[in-house]
Structure 1
Amino acid sequence: MIEEGYFAPQLTGGGGGKGRTLRTEQRLERLGIRLEEMAFWRERAHEDLDAWSFNGAALELGQSWPKLEGVSLLEHPRVVVPEEWPVEELRLELDLGGEGLVRLSYPSRDADLFGMDTQHRSWPIKAREFSLSVEAVARLPLGVPNRGARLNRARLVWAEVDLVSLARKLSLVMEAARSLGDHDVVDPLLACAERALGLLRWPSATTEYLSRTAGSFEMQQIWSLPDGLEAHPPALDDEHRDAIRFAAQELDADLAQLKARFPSQGAVALTGHAHLDLAWLWPLDETRRKARRTYHTAVGLMDRYPEFVFNQSTAQAYAWIAEDDPALFERMKEMAAAGQWEPTGAMWVEPDVNLPAGESLVRQLLYGQRFFKRHFGKTHTVCWLPDCFGFTGALPQLLAGAGVGNFFTHKMNWSETNKFPHDLFWWEGLDGTRVLAHQFWNPSGGYNGEPGPASTLATWGNYRGKRDFPQTLLAIGYGDGGGGATSEMIERVRALESFPVVPELHFTKVSEFYDSARSAVEEVDLPAWVGEMYLEYHRGTYTTQGRTKYLHRRAERDLVAAEVVGAMAVLSGGERLGSLEPLWQVLLRNEFHDILPGSSIREVYVTAESELEGVVDDAADILRQSMNRLSDELVDVGERDAVVVVNPDAAPRPLRIESTEGLPGGQEVDGGSILSGTQTVAGLSAHVVMEAAPRGALAVSERLLENSMIRVKLNSGGTLESVYDQIAQREVLDGRGNQLWAYVDKPRAFDAW
């Protein structure tokens, strides 16, 4: 039998000192092995929760889900914590086979709710008795179906909290040393970890040791594990725990001394975040569930970590929460008032900003700012668009008009050919309006960041604006499909306070970051980017999902026309119509940057087309009512047929009307009639047209169309033989026109991208 002993440091390496024989990489490898070993003692004790039901029917741990489609309810009856287990050191660990909303119900009728996914599987409890229910879907991150969903793990764990804390710091030492490369601090930093390991007293009795480590990779490679392994092997004893606490104290002291020699370089302002695509690889209904899970997780973290600040955009998601979970919405408002939850973004959704008309972008800002002002008491000063596919040069002017002077994105780092040159700069719009823009480049997860040395050192190192403003932003939290930050992330931020070289980390509101940046750059000649920010990526999206794009443009125009004609009818004495804001909100959510461009799954477009068709139909009904009211006010009944023509645009337009019905004085065509003339209809005006002045003679034959401006000849195959400009007296075509070409299009990544 092996005697119990110490974690001996062996020979330290690097630096060329006396007796040092190990290279840095070898020392890192050894530290990693020790950390893997320590992980098997993180549980002091555990009890499996094995009385589950699935939609009312019993389901044992390890069994597969009977049904994979839709939302299922998993429940576990009353759990009683063993008397000797302290509640503050307990964790509930669940891996039930999918994503879900976990509800812990206590005898006091109090309850805690948390989001469950592959990155959020461990939560604290706060009472000695509780029951469980989980609304779950058999899905993995990013909408991937889990076709093998089963109850993998459900366990109440009494954690070795001091060991967990020490292992976290040792893990951060290893990550920092790897990230710093040949920096002078690496050798003494590793020596700090090695000295701490040398102070540990560790179990090494054969049976107990093998029982604890039986699940390790190395043990699983053995031909046959020995008999007699224990399901619940002994935990650490008080002597081991005393050694752990002493080693942790010494490690803290050593790191503090090292930081005095190698102080932090730079500063990274952290904001908790959960990028939640309104739809992408999942439909809107799942997004509503994802939002509840994500926001409950964030609020729970705020309760336990008063320094944690979380930002979230998208008024549409907030509106859904207000409908689906009013109690959660009230908690979000409370946390916002306390300064921990930061609504941001100013818009109804995070829209594509290339395809929508300017009026739609104005409505994004109008309805977004109005919602946040109504429910949270203030409007926003930061436009938060981390993931949109490029940015129109008209946006700064529109932002400034909505009181938004700051802009954030991460996406311009994604350009494939030309690297975007700035990360703190003035973005100047087409009219000369400027907003302060910032983006960070975190190669380890982008806007779904993690606050370890690897990402913080890289983000600070990549920051080119540090001479003008000595801190950069970094968003932390799992995202794209929501999820957000974890307690481990925040614990790592706390642990890194004592580390040398690593940038200073602190949580902040995004708006406060921009306020500080503005103050710092008032007298600085910041670089400026003028006009469009064109993204050299995702460009194929703009040629996909043509029906959605058509319906979107139709809905945009029809809503504007319905509002204008309705207003004209009121000004003429007609009855006032109700607000069209609900219809606009449907349109605006379908401008989300993974819906309108065309990068989502089929189910998303089934919903989008149905919703947009509904907007078009409702706008047409409103427009018809307003036209009738306007006609009643403007036109006296007479004997001659006429057409009331309204131009809802601000600019004049030539007279051209297409209708499925016959038009007085119009020309019959397939599907209806056309009325066209030389008259011009002034902007925002209504006219009664009884006769349309013809535009001139028109000659028509089987293969010829000709008027005073143009002559078009067709050949027998349907292509254009000639297009002759009568005014310029020249042939327009060089060869045949109207040819049909087919190309092979096989994108590199994602069918629509």
Structure 2
Amino acid sequence: MSVRLLSAESTDLFVGSHDEPRQVLRVTVARGERDAPLEVRGDGVRLAGPVSVPADAEGVVEVPLAVSAPPGTTVPCLLTLGEEQLKVVVTAEEPGWTMFMVSHFHYDPVWWNTQAAYTSPWELLSGDATTRPLWERNAFALVEAHIDLALRDPDYRFVLAEVDYLKPFFDTHPERRADLRALMAQGRAELVGGTYNEPNTNLTGAETTIRNIVYGIGYQRDILGGDPRTAWQLDAFGHDPQFPGYLAAAGLTGSAWARGPFHQWGPISKNFKQAKNDAALMQFPSEFEWISPSGQGVLTHYMPAHYSAGWWMDSSPSLEAACEAVYDLYRSLKPVAATKNVLLPVGTDYTPPNKWITDVHRAWASRYVWPQFVCATPRDFLDAVRAERAAFSPQTRDMNPIYTGKDVSYIDTKQAQRAAEVAALDAERLSAFASVLGLGRYPHTALDKVWRQLAYGAHHDAITGSESDQVYIDLLTGWREAHDLAATARDNALDALTGQIALDGHSVVVTNTLPFARDGLVSVPLPEGRTVADLSGAPVPAVTENGTLTFVARDVPSMGWRSYRVVPGSSEPWQPAPPSETPLVTIANDRWQVTADPAQGGALVSIHDRAADREVLTGLGNELRLYDEYPRHPDMGEGPWHLVPSGRVVGSTEGRALGVTSETSPIGRRLTVTGQVGEITYEQTVTLLTGSDRIDFTTRVLDHTGADRLLRVRFPARVEGALPVSDVAGAVVGRGFALPDVDTAEHPWTLDNPANTWFGLSTTARVDLGEAGARALGVAEVVVPSLDDAPQARDLVVALARAGVTATTSSADGTRYGWLDVDSNLPDVRIVVGGPDTNPVAAELLERADDAYLEALKSGAGRVWVPAERALPEVWQPSADLRDLRALPALIVTDVADLVADLSDAVIEAVCPLGKEILEDRTVALLTYGLPGFAVDPSGALHLSLMRSCTGWPSGIWLDPPHRAAPDGSAFQLQHWTHEFSYSLVSGDGDWRALRLPAAAQEHITPL
């Protein structure tokens, strides 16, 4: 018997030469008694030359084919080996593909271990994998290992990234700079990142992100002599929508990262339950133009198999196995590549050079012409991508939410970040004026230290609250130092500037550091028997409390001051209001009337807008809700970076308040509520200042003994048709509804999002349908006819983003956006570019809808609105799947340029021949201070995350003895101490622009 034929597989491998590449057919055989000729017959497929399989052949035989069929064609073929035959389908492939293997290591200067440990000799730690994976090394050893291998092996290329390990290394090893510079000159080493570290830009202000970039580029270029071009943000827990615009403005031309559009692990690896293992579930290629609302963007590579994808070949038992592992990865990544170039990151956390990478580079080249597997840098890859394609799919997609626990874990660090940022910005403004006026030197050194500390704390395992207890304590000193240095610089500049104002020595000077005039509370310690008057001598309403005089300063000029005289007199303290004649307790000013119910935990049963004669609430407001959480996610594991509610929640409204009091004073009215919810005792104040358009709230957690709890405050405030909106660092964008009450064991995605300083129910852009009403737009899928048409949608997605509507650009034959199993967030509208003759999605949509919509297009309407089959709150359910074309409303557009022009006022006019949409032109929002986590559920209820306690690893981890803990012995992650949270409610007619919410939020976080 001749050698036996077992199976055959078509591949995209090529042998031969670049001029005559031959596609490889892999044939599996079993040994026999004699040799046998092999033949292949198919239409456009033949053997490249005679093939004889020897009798002792066993396993896979690679057979070169001459394929003349067009690429992508599937050709049925008959394979004959001796007396045996087998039918096989050969897919005609295209040569010319290259996979760029980028050697790297990801470095966290803080996480479960401390900065000191990550830069110390880890040989002192256990070598049996009980304290770390055996391959992990400290930063100094890693930098040397990668440089040394490159010096030994001319085929090796690698990247270095973050200043938080580069600076300590080269400060202590300055002799290695020459080696690094020589390798960079040869193109075998590249400095990437362009930032100080991998910051979580969605949890910090815009200026912190900008300084992070400035420090990163400055060190990599000006100190080390590199040429950073690519932001290398592998592990960040989502990204601020403005981030790509900042990168472009700083001169960077690319970015690469692994987390954002498709949950934490991407479309290939496991996120929840079973891994999808299918990159084609992405709606856009892995290389795209990532664009900010400013309209600026960078070419970006998203890592579908994550940043550690290529590392695992290190454990392959042989070179052959390593080659096959790399080839499997290539095949999984290839379907979503924008060009014939694929990037494979080879490395993971704290990893030395992969032991097989250069062997694969050489062995593969000796066997195959295409695809090429080469050691490379990101610049090699992105240059090849740009050389092949001039324009890319434009994406303004919101790359959030990722790891929703990050928005609230260790909440005091978020508050500290906000306090330090505000102090730093004030210090810079005031110090600049003082310096120009010759009133002292600008505090360069102090403010430089401030921004370095804030940049360090912005790391994705610092500000996110994912760190261990010891790291938390270490980081707190950085935020404290940043705040105190900034506050000292601010106060010194203020003293110098106000010292130039001609006063009589008995005055108070109130300064405003914002670029617009404003009112605000001012507190001044004054001796008894003194109060304040304006410059005309008229008394200023004020209140005395705990030895401090507090008054409302009016119309303080932009970046200016207003003076008040200190005069003899007295101010009254807060006084109890007359007893209520009903069980409810009410306070009011000219704008608001607020009513609390002591029987329901002191929650607000009414917030009445007296100016509009309208009730804001649809249920009980300012209700504290305490969620039970799993210690770690039952399926995904992992710790404090996840929100993991179990579905069990108790509200403060379920019991009677311990006390509700109403007080009055010359500056306003306030309610004070005390109560208990679960293991938390609390005090809440609601303040109505005279003449103020906002309602100010403070919630104080007085005592807290629980574990694995999440505390939110809730305001049910439905605005018909409105959608969630929030500010980010330098823009305002629409956000999707959240699902805060799910059991995450069954439905893991709560869809909380981070806001910078405010969030609410409003509209970013809207579609005006005339008599058919109006519809708010928040998050869009822009569907173009084909992937090649995607670049032509750039002007449209930029115009949408500038109006606050983020968009995912997809193609008609691709995957639809809107499946929570894969997508990190959900859209609320589709914009279909092209009519039924050019866009198959438009054709299908119109086929399934009433004929009236097609007739409207035929009659000349350039924009036709096709409503969804069901209302948005009905389909926005846990684990939602909104991919069906009728699940969301759609705007069919035949003239893109006209639509772009129409978006200039954030209002789109369209025709809707049937049905009606309802949109109330009104806004309800919460202004926040260091409280980024929010959720607006489909009913319209606003939820603000206040704090949480989590026992999941690395909570409680302390590396260096003696072990430290809170006074009650609990881990610091549990936050068992007093907390105070400030937020304000605003509401009114019109959208967020009409209410000037960005300015209102800046007033809220920036005290006079």
For residues 20 and 660 of structure 1, the distance between their equivalents in structure 2, rounded to whole angstroms, comes to 96
Counterpart for residue 574 of structure 1:
439
8 A Cα contact 1:699 1:705, kept in partner = no
> Residues 239 and 399 of structure 2 are in contact (CA less than 8 Å); yes or no, is this contact kept in structure 1?
yes
Q: Which of 163, 181, 193 matches 1:315?
A: 163
CA shift for structure 1 position 545: 0.9
* Structure 2 match to 1:358: 206
Q: Partner residue of 1:733?
A: 617
Question: CA offsets, 1:67-101, max 9 Å, x none?
Answer: xxxxxxxxxxxxxxxxxxxxxxxxxxxxxxxxxxx
Shift of 1:587: 1.1
Alignment of 1:454 onto 2:325: yes
- 1:483-539 CA-to-partner distances (Å, cap 9, x unmatched) read 2323433223222222348731122231232223223211x5x3221242224x422
Letter in 2 for 1:688: S
**CA deviation string 1:649-696 (max 9, x = no partner):** 3344333334577795353235844331331431x334434489xxxx
Deviates more, 1:293-302 or 1:710-719: 710-719
Q: Out of 354-363 and 500-509, give the one that drifted further.
A: 500-509
| Contact 1:440–1:472 (8 Å) recurs in 2 | no
More helix by share: 1
- CA 442–668 in structure 1, closer or farther in 2 if over 3 Å, else same: same
Is 1:669 matched up with 2:545? yes
1:372 alignment partner in structure 2: 220
2:287–2:300 CA contact under 8 A, matched in 1? yes
8 Å contact kept, 1:309–1:341: yes
Query: By how many angstroms is 1:398 displaced?
Result: 0.8
Relative to 1, partners in 2 of residues 1:529 and 1:263: Cα closer, same or farther, differing over 3 Å? closer
1:332 aligns with 2:180: yes
Among candidates 186, 193, 197, match of residue 345 of structure 1: 193
2:127 corresponds to which residue?
A: none
1:653 pairs with 2:518:
yes
Q: Distance in 1 between matches of 2:294 and 2:205?
A: 17
Give CA-to-partner distance per residue, 1:162-207, whole Å, 9 cap, x none: xxxxxxxxxxxxxxxxxxxxx832537x99xxx9xxxxxxxxxxxx
CA RMSD of the aligned region, Å?
Answer: 3.5
Note closer, same or farther for the CA distance 1:604–1:344 as it changes in structure 2 (3 Å cut).
same
Q: 2:25 aligns with which of 177, 184, 193?
A: 184
Amino acid at match of 1:635: I
Q: TM-score when scaled to structure 1?
A: 0.61
1:297 to partner: Cα distance: 0.8
Give the secondary-structure state (helix, strand or coil) at the position aligned to 2:453.
Answer: helix
What's the counterpart of residue 291 of structure 1? 139
- The reply to whether residue 18 of structure 1 matches residue 2 of structure 2 is yes
Bigger Cα Rg: 1
Alignment of 1:589-668 (within 5 A): 589-632=456-499, 634-643=500-509, 645-658=510-523, 665=532, 666-668=542-544
Instruction: State the percentage of identical aligned residues.
Output: 21
Alpha-carbon separation, structure 1, partners of 2:341 and 2:526? 65
What is the aligned counterpart of 1:408 among 241, 251, 256? 256
Query: Do residues 685 (structure 1) and 560 (structure 2) align?
Result: yes
Match of 2:393? 527
Q: 1:444 to 1:288 in 2, by over 3 A?
A: closer
Which of the numbers 547, 555, 558 marks the counterpart of 2:420? Answer: 555
Looking at structure 1, the residues matched to 209 and 513 of structure 2 have their Cα atoms a distance apart, in angstroms, of: 19
Could you tell me whether the CA contact under 8 Å between 1:389 and 1:593 is conserved in 2? yes
Cα gap change, 1:743 to 1:461, in 2 (>3 Å): closer
* 1:511 aligned onto 2:374: no
Deviation at 1:23, TM superposition (A): 8.2
Alpha carbons of 1:670 and 1:288: their partners in 2 closer, same or farther (altered >3 Å)?
Answer: farther
Residue 596 of structure 1 aligns to a residue whose secondary structure is: coil
Q: Deviations over 1:560-605 (max 9, x none)?
A: 1111111121122211123111221111011111211122222221
Cα pair 1:380 1:403 within 8 Å, conserved: no
Q: Which shows bigger deviation, 326-335 or 281-290?
A: 326-335
Aligned-pair distance for 1:282? 1.4
Q: Is the 8 A contact 1:449 1:455 kept in 2?
A: no
Q: Alpha carbons of 1:511 and 1:672: their partners in 2 closer, same or farther (altered >3 Å)? A: farther
Residue 731 of structure 1 aligns with an amino acid whose one-letter code is E
The letter for the 2-side match of 1:18 is: S
> Could you say which residue in structure 1 is the equivalent of 2:593?
711
Sort the Cα spacing of 1:307 and 1:24 in 2 relative to 1 into closer, same or farther, 3 A: same
Cα distance change on mapping 1:530 and 1:639 into 2, 3 Å = closer
Q: 1:449 to 1:475 in 2, by over 3 A?
A: farther
Displacement of 1:704 in angstroms is 4.1
Aligned length: 507
Contact 1:460-1:503 at 8 Å conserved across structures: no
Higher strand proportion (structure 1 or 2): 2
1:141-160 correspondence runs (5 A): none
Q: 2:295 matched to which residue of 1?
A: 432
Cα distance, 1:464 vs structure 2: 3.8
* 1:431-482, Cα deviation, whole Å (9 max, x unpaired): 222321112433794264646332344234423454x5211111213x22x1
Cα displacement (A) at 1:295:
0.6
Distance 1:380 1:449, change over 3 A: farther
Q: Hey, what does 1:271 align to over in structure 2?
A: 102
In structure 2, the CA distance between the partners of 1:740 and 1:314, relative to structure 1 (3 Å rule), is same
The separation in 2 between residues aligned to 1:255 and 1:374, in whole angstroms, is: 54
Shift of residue 362, structure 1, vs aligned partner = 0.7
Conserved? CA contact 1:276–1:291, under 8 Å: yes
Paired amino acid for 2:345: A
Secondary structure of the equivalent of 1:534?
coil
Shift of 1:629: 1.1
- Output the CA distance in 1 between the equivalents of 2:112 and 2:28: 46
| Alignment of structure 1 residues 173-212 onto 2, 5 Å | 184-187=25-28
**How has the CA–CA distance of structure 1 residues 259 and 559 changed in structure 2, closer, same or farther, with 3 Å as cutoff?**
farther
| Residues 454, 704 of structure 1: alpha-carbon distance in 2 compared, 3 angstrom cutoff | same
Corresponding residue number in structure 2 for 1:59: none
Tell me the equivalent position of 1:303: 151
**2:608 corresponding residue in structure 1:** 724
SS in structure 2 at match of 1:556: helix
Q: How far apart are the structure 1 equivalents of 2:145 and 2:185?
A: 18
1:399 CA displacement: 1.1
Letter in 1 for 2:563: V
Structure 2 residue 638 is the aligned partner of structure 1 residue 750: yes
Pick aligned residue for 2:452 from 575, 578, 585: 585
Q: Deviation per CA, 1:90-146, whole angstroms, max 9, x where unpaired?
A: xxxxxxxxxxxxxxxxxxxxxxxxxxxxxxxxxxxxxxxxxxxxxxxxxxxxxxxxx
Q: Distance in 1 between matches of 2:326 and 2:526?
A: 64
Q: Name the residue aligned to 2:411.
A: 546
Whether the 8 Å CA contact 1:274–1:448 is kept in 2: the answer is: no
Indicate if the aligned counterparts of 1:273 and 1:448 stay in contact, CA closer than 8 A. Answer: no
1:628-664: CA deviations, max 9, x gaps?
A: 11122x3124153222x33333344333334577795
8 Å Cα contact 2:291/2:394 also seen in 1:
yes
- Counterpart contact for 1:447–1:475, Cα < 8 Å: yes
Secondary structure, counterpart of 1:354 in structure 2: helix
Q: Using the alignment, how far apart are the partners of 1:386 and 1:671 within structure 2? A: 52
Aligned partners of 2:556 and 2:562 also within 8 Å: no
2:285 aligns with 422
Partner of 1:473: 343
Kindly state the Cα deviation for residue 365 of structure 1 after the two structures are TM-superposed: 1.0
Who is 2:962 aligned against?
Answer: none
Aligned CA distance change for structure 1 residues 734 and 353 (closer, same or farther; 3 Å): same
CA distance in 1, matches of 2:435, 2:562: 16
